[in-house]
């Protein structure tokens, strides 16, 4: 059965942006019910919204089609999410103090489902201590906010107040609807390539895009975890709700990870870390004065190996392997040598797998079994990996308890 989302639109100039959001949610199969404040109808017409949802749009509290049904109470009983987007300062104030003077505010007060608010207003209105206090009151009752972004506003001012972009809104909807199976867990993920400088212009790197690690970070956040992502250089958008630490070299990544290795329940090392770095980085650009160039390299520290040495009994560690030959054999050796609980082996030469793409083909190895997975999106695969890790941590906890006894 499709999820039911109540969308409340208020009198903000950003109301027009709700049209595309509603259209995309309908296309994704959600059941959408829309309520509008009277002010919102001056920016967007109910007829426009109804053409997308194929359902009545509610404005007036007393506009009940059936006298036997109190709409603002009945319509939210089976709702999975109540989202106010955009939310004006006026409506936020009313919601904070429980005022129920229109269909939207009455239904919000009657709803017992999770609630999400995306403010959009002038920067000075948003930063006003009164607005901030009202938002804090709502947060204390469990309401989640999608913070506005900074930019040029409709009024001509610049600052925080722009409605969050649609990708972020959709991510937060996924977050609100996802089961919080990783709630309270601290997860460290590494992602992307590293860059090893030769001179101020050039560097050694690899083809990693970071997409798998970023998909893992997004999925872990949506499942309720506290996520830290240590990322090498990528062009990817930072996942919402994730603490991202940017690094450049393998040595940078090593120090960022090793200093806090014991703080995490799960550690997922999906980064393609450079194996070697230059002994000396030239201060000036290396000139092409000869037909050949010899570089002297040294081996970088093995992050996954060091984590395996320092791990706590209660921690679960997942590494990644990518080989051009003997993938499973090498992945099994890595699993044992680096003291991991799980290795995700990437089938580089299989169609739909490898770097840069949005899909992957993998085998997941644990000490007990090898499971093969056909081509799927990296986002789908992220949930499979996290579910498998959750199973592994249960096994670790059992072993830990047995050792204590």
pLDDT in tens, 4-41: 999 999 999 999 999 999 999 999 999 999 999 999 99
- Band of the pLDDT at 352, cuts 50, 70, 90? confident
- Rounded to the nearest integer, the mean pLDDT of the chain is 93
Confidence of residue 354 (pLDDT cuts 50, 70, 90): confident
Q: What does the chain come to in residues? A: 405
DSSP H helix total and E strand total for the chain: 13, 20
pLDDT the model gives residue 348: 83
Confidence of residue 139 (pLDDT cuts 50, 70, 90): very high
CA atoms lying within 13 Å on the CB side of residue 341: 26
27-36, 159-168, 303-312, 384-393: which has the minimum mean pLDDT?
Answer: 384-393
pLDDT at 393: 65
Q: What integer pLDDT is reported at residue 259 of this predicted model?
A: 93
Q: Is the pLDDT of residue 398 over 70?
A: no
Predicted confidence at residue 344, as pLDDT, reads 96
- Radius of gyration (C-alpha) of the chain in whole angstroms: 25
399 or 278, higher pLDDT: 278
Q: Which residues fall within 8 angstroms of residue 310, CB to CB, at 6 or more apart?
A: 258, 261, 262
Rounded to whole angstroms, how far apart are CA atoms 267 and 188? 5
Residue 67: pLDDT over 90: no
SS3 85: strand
Q: What is the pLDDT of residues 266-298, one digit of tens each?
A: 999 999 999 999 999 999 999 998 999 999 999
Q: Specify the pTM.
A: 0.88
pLDDT for 394:
62
What is the set of active-site residues? 155
Tens of pLDDT, residue by residue over 355-392, are 888 999 999 999 999 999 999 999 999 999 999 888 77
Q: What is the pLDDT of residue 224?
A: 94
Alpha helices for 70-152 (secondary structure H): 71-74, 89-96, 103-110, 123-127, 129-140
* Residue 204 bridge partners (DSSP): 196
Question: Please, what are the domains in the chain?
Answer: 4-177 (3.40.50.1950), 186-275+296-397 (3.40.50.10300)
What pLDDT does 399 receive? 58
Residue 69 has pLDDT above 90, yes or no: no
Can you give the pLDDT at residue 395?
Answer: 63
């Amino acid at each position: 059965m499709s999820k039911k989302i109540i969308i409340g639109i208020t009198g903000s100039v950003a109301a027009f942006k709700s049209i595309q959001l509603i259209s995309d949610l309908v296309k994704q199969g959600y059941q959408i019910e829309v309520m509008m404040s009277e002010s919102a109808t001056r920016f967007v017409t109910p007829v426009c919204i109804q053409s997308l949802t194929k359902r009545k749009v509610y404005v007036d509290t007393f506009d009940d089609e059936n006298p036997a049904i109190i709409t603002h109470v009945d319509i939210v009983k089976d709702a999975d999410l109540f989202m106010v987007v955009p939310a004006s300062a006026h409506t936020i104030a009313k919601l904070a103090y429980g005022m129920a003077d229109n269909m939207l505010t009455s239904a919000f007060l009657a709803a017992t489902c999770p609630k999400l608010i995306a403010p959009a207003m002038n920067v000075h209105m948003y930063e006003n201590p009164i607005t901030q206090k009202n938002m804090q009151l709502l947060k204390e009752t469990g309401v989640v906010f999608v913070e506005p972004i900074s930019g040029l506003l409709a009024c001509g001012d610049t600052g925080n107040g722009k409605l969050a972009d649609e990708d972020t809104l959709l991510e937060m909807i996924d977050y609100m609807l996802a089961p919080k199976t990783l709630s309270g867990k601290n997860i460290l993920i590494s992602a992307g390539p590293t860059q090893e400088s030769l001179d101020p212009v050039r560097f050694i790197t690899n083809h990693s895009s970071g997409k798998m690690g970023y998909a893992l970070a997004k999925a872990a956040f949506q499942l309720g975890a506290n996520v830290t992502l240590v990322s090498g250089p990528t062009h990817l958008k930072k996942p919402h709700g994730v603490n991202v630490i940017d690094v450049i070299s393998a040595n940078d990544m090593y120090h960022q990870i090793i200093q806090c290795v014991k703080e995490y329940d799960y550690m997922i090392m999906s980064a393609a870390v450079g194996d070697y770095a230059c002994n000396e980085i030239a201060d000036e650009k290396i000139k092409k004065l000869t037909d050949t160039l010899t570089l002297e390299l040294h081996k970088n520290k093995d992050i996954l190996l060091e984590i395996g040495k320092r791990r706590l009994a209660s921690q679960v560690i997942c590494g990644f392997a990518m080989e051009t030959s003997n993938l499973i054999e090498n992945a099994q050796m890595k699993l044992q040598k680096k003291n991991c609980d799980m290795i995700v082996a990437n089938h580089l030469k299989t169609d739909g797998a490898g770097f840069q793409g949005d899909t992957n083909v993998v085998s997941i190895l644990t000490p007990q079994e090898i499971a093969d997975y056909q081509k799927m999106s990296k986002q789908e695969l992220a949930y499979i990996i996290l579910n498998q890790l959750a199973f592994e941590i249960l096994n670790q906890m059992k072993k830990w308890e047995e050792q204590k006894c």
